[in-house]
A and B are shown apart, each in its own frame.
Chain A
Amino acid sequence: MDIQITLRVDGAAHPLTVDTRTTLLDALRERLRNTSPKKGCDHGQCGACTVLLDGRRVNSCLVLAVTVGNAEVTTSDGLAEGDQPHALHRSFVARDAFQCGYCTPGQVCSAAGVIEEARAGWPSAVTADLAADEVDLTDDEIRERMSGNLCRCAAYANIVPAVADVARASRVRS
């Protein structure tokens, strides 16, 4: 069954007619030709499809496009400002935090979400004091919070410092 929607993606509105079965991931990739989010497992297990929905990281493969409504979708592509890469993009390059790069846009969106969640004081499963107001994004915290993003090249050893560099820099700024 077809339905008309308008997707707001990376700052632009896109009117679309989609089958109700279309996921946000497929709408982005197949209809809008935004190939920044990747299809890995298509079951919410690998995180390659991670995008920000109104600023919160989600698996776009498990979100039906018809449910998105007016929410703003931000892909890794949209994190850049014009020709200027996002701090996480630069950090992933500087730290050599990938090999094939397939999971990288999902890792970057997830990391952007992790930094915001930590800034809001959200605890994780490895946070010792659940009642603490502030979260220090230690390497253990980053590993736990990024566990929804798999990297089959196993670049984890460089992904953790890539995220940590930006998390600590943004903390100094704020």
Chain B
Amino acid sequence: MEDRLLLDLQKLETRYSVGRADVHAVRDVSLKVHRGETLGLVGESGCGKSTLGYSILRILPENGRIVNGHCLMEGSDLLSLSEDELVNYRWSKLSMIFQGAMNALNPVLRVDDILYEILRAHKDVSRAEAMERIKELFDLVGLARDHMTSYAHELSGGMRQRVVIAMSLLCNPSLIIADEPTTAFDVVVQDQILAALEGIQDKLGIGMMLITHDIAVIAETCDRVAVMYAGQIVEQSSTEAIFHAPAHPYTAAMLNSFPSVRGPARCLVSLRGAPPDLTNPPLGCAFAPRCPLAVEQCREANPPLEDLTTDAQHLARCYFAGSDAVTEAWSAEESQTGGAGG
């Protein structure tokens, strides 16, 4: 596994200055992504998942800064590269599909010219070579070649998103970070985009980091999952383990808050309260105020990310990790209300 290691994030800390205070958006995050693997990064809005993506690419907004940690990509630390050196990494080793990017395509250029510009900026290619590459990618993401000469406004949202996916692949990156790539779409189009992403993974075997709040999308597309809460990874494991044996109460709550069209009808769990204010992160477990299991210890000291296996296959940041209490934590909750649906 280690020789397939692509991205190795170590103890990453990212903060935003807001007025005189600092928002601790990403706190002590360590993650690995391997070649041929899709890692799902899941959490509620504001938990820091997009900030983590921006930190890896070093495209944080003005008030954001990385205060600590390493981001090793094939051996070099992206955080210590100069801006010039970093340019060689963006697009060609590491690219990102931004949330809503399909609405930001240049309206006055044809789609093939948009892609050609990017390719030309990074590689010494002739227009003919570039067009060949673009044709290949259109086939890969399931877009008809006729659309190469279209303008963005002539394409539907789903088609534009596929253009953006093709764009991210232009320079053969070994890792793609996709930030909520399916969120804005209806279910049928969402499914087409998921199929395109899965197709890419099958054919190219690159590494992929899928940032989303939709656990159904995670269940179907990811090999491993990292669950984020209040800027920290609270649980990390294989997709199967996360869904069938969640070790953190937050993960369990998330799974129980999601309706499905299949399986038995059941009551959904909702969380009371809100995530903590990250200008002043709590000393104890960030989830404690909303957690039915919380005891004194939880409020006093933040639990470490503990290894429930021997080889770091399942990590969880909870004093009760792995005990039955976690899976049972929500069964008593919300019993007074119920779904009407069959």
Binding between chains A and B: no
Query: Which A residues are closer than 8 A to B by beta carbons?
Result: none
